[in-house]
Homo-oligomer: A and B are copies of this chain.
Amino acid sequence: MKCKVSENPSIKEAYRLIEDGIRKRALVVILACCSASYEGRARSRLDAGERLIVIKPDGTFMVHQDRKVDPVNWQPPKSRSRAYIKRGSLYLESIRRDPEERLEVEIHEAHLVSYYLARDVHDLMVAGHENDMGDMIIMHPQLIEKGFRPVAREYAVASGFIDILGKDENGSLMIIELKSRKAGVSAVKQLKRYVDEFREDRVGVRGVLVAPSITHDAMEMLEEEGLEFREIEPPRELRSNRGVTLDNFL
């Protein structure tokens, strides 16, 4: 039996089913009218309403309202959850250590209590990150321009890390800043800081912002600063080669 379900359970039934689910390391799913108090890095109070409560076998605890992607209250993996009855009311508690945080949910009326012995071995395969863009450019430098040669990746400078450092066909230094999404002003500022560090030493340093698109403000600032933009889409292949390094090409 993968699943155990109880509709409109009594307080005691609900309590037993929830504790049973937690002990069996099941995915516990509750639909109930509840209120919640949280105290930890911040502090919050949520008055009564009908919500979805989830307790995961890894210790994750969530209270979801009927809106938004994010839970309204939650605790992260490794938190310790339990149910208890106090003065005739059913409570759920989830405690995290370091930082010390506590979430308490009072269940006023449970409409559905269930748990699910879920087996799930697969992880998400995803493509389209900044890192994948870097891999792609290292493997196909001509995407930047003909004659471009990458020299270093994640190159450390005072103000941070340069995504890709390279040279153009004339031997001028090129600083590549990658963004996998639309680039904003902050990306231009970041690139400018890197370029400024090098321009102090020598002239003829080129700064290139690489992204699938750019905001209007960012484009203006880029032109003012004498920097360049290359429109490149992040790669879409799932399971792209991880760990592409410059060694492959030196």
Contact = CB atoms under 8 A, between A and B. Distances in A.
Interface stretch (A64-72, A82-90, A137-145, A148-156): A64-72
Interface of A: 2-3, 5, 7-8, 27, 29, 31, 41-52, 54, 56-58, 60, 62, 64-69, 71-74, 76-77, 111-112, 114, 116, 118-129, 159, 180-181, 189, 234, 236, 238
A52 B49 contact: no
B73 A69 contact: no
Contact of A47 (B29, B31, B52, B122): B122
Contacts of A114: 31, 112
| Copies of this polypeptide in the complex | 2
A62 B69 contact: yes
A3 B31 contact: yes
B112 A66 contact: no
Given A49-B120, A58-B66, 16 more contacts: A2-B50, A31-B118, A41-B181, A44-B126, A45-B238, A46-B123, A48-B122, A49-B119, A52-B116, A56-B66, A56-B68, A58-B67, A67-B77, A69-B74, A72-B124, A112-B116
